[in-house]
Structure 1
């Protein structure tokens, strides 16, 4: 008879995967993840049928957490610049606290082990942000870049900003402001 699954063990495996992948990359062995989680390697496969399933699940979990951080207090009625600043601020705040998750998601984003279905599900969670971009382009407030390109600009500038904020905490707010202004100049019309 199969053992019942434990939410605590599942969460320990995900936390261990984040730690191991942040340190060693996503090609790290599952045995190391199980060891860090304090379970037998076979236990990992009780929760995830294979490593690719683990990677896809982890990608969705991190994206879900990021989405909640960025959009749970999203000011839908604010003007475009205020909404963009909110997305920027909450993304940067999340990234400063979740350094290992940032490292892992950066690897997963470029991994061919993440399925198109997983990418579609993760992207759908950011529909409010994509709608804001499309609405703002239609009104001429933003340059007519594909939303994925605008999002990539945001991520690249935010990642650079976070790295500098972590290296030079005394200048953190200066970097946060400068990073947003660079993003805004890159995407705003006129």
Structure 2
């Protein structure tokens, strides 16, 4: 008799996979994921046909979680700088609240185990926010000579540094948040 799938168990496996990938990279064994999820190792394969599918689903889950955080209150008609600051603040909030998922996403972003189709789907979920760089370049607000991927990489690197400092000194978190935004804006904004 086939076992019924539970959304709660599926989510527990994804959360455990995030923790395992954050700690050990994409090579984290499924036995560790199962242990962290509190399920038998075979249960993982009831929900995900293989580990690559699990990693791809984790990638999409992380991207969706980030998108939900960013889209809440997104000022789609505000000036570009205000939209960037909204995205910046929401990204920091999300990253501080979900450090394992953030670390796992960083591992998955550079993994060859994430399929091109999954990467496209992961970017598609961002809707209006996905076009923010294009809008900024078209409006002359962002530096025209830098590739979008490079600008995104700068933002990610400064965000990681900012979150490290925020975590070390919560009393000064607002100062670091603001300084980080000013740094990215100087790096990607047009002069």
Give the structure-2-normalised TM-score: 0.94
User: What is aligned with 2:187?
Assistant: 186
User: Matched residue of 1:2: which SS?
Assistant: coil
Q: Which residues in structure 2 correspond to 1:156-167 (within 5 Å)?
A: 156-167=157-168
| 1: CA distance, partners of 2:135 / 2:23 | 40
Q: Which residues in structure 2 correspond to 1:30-179 (within 5 Å)?
A: 30-144=30-144, 145-179=146-180
Question: How many corresponding residue pairs?
Answer: 190
| 2: CA distance, partners of 1:168 / 1:67 | 27
Runs of 4+ displaced beyond 6 Å: none
User: Matched residue of 1:189: which SS?
Assistant: coil
| 2: CA distance, partners of 1:20 / 1:34 | 10
- Asked if the contact 1:130/1:147 (under 8 Å) is kept, the reply is no
| 2: CA distance, partners of 1:46 / 1:77 | 44
| 2: CA distance, partners of 1:128 / 1:149 | 20
| 2: CA distance, partners of 1:26 / 1:125 | 23
- Asked if the contact 1:17/1:33 (under 8 Å) is kept, the reply is yes
Deviations 1:50-76 (A, max 9, x none): 111000000000110001101222101
| 2: CA distance, partners of 1:127 / 1:143 | 22
| 2: CA distance, partners of 1:12 / 1:45 | 13
After TM superposition, give the deviation of residue 49 of structure 1 in Å: 0.6
User: Matched residue of 1:152: which SS?
Assistant: helix
- Asked if the contact 2:80/2:136 (under 8 Å) is kept, the reply is yes
Deviates more, 1:143-152 or 1:116-125: 143-152
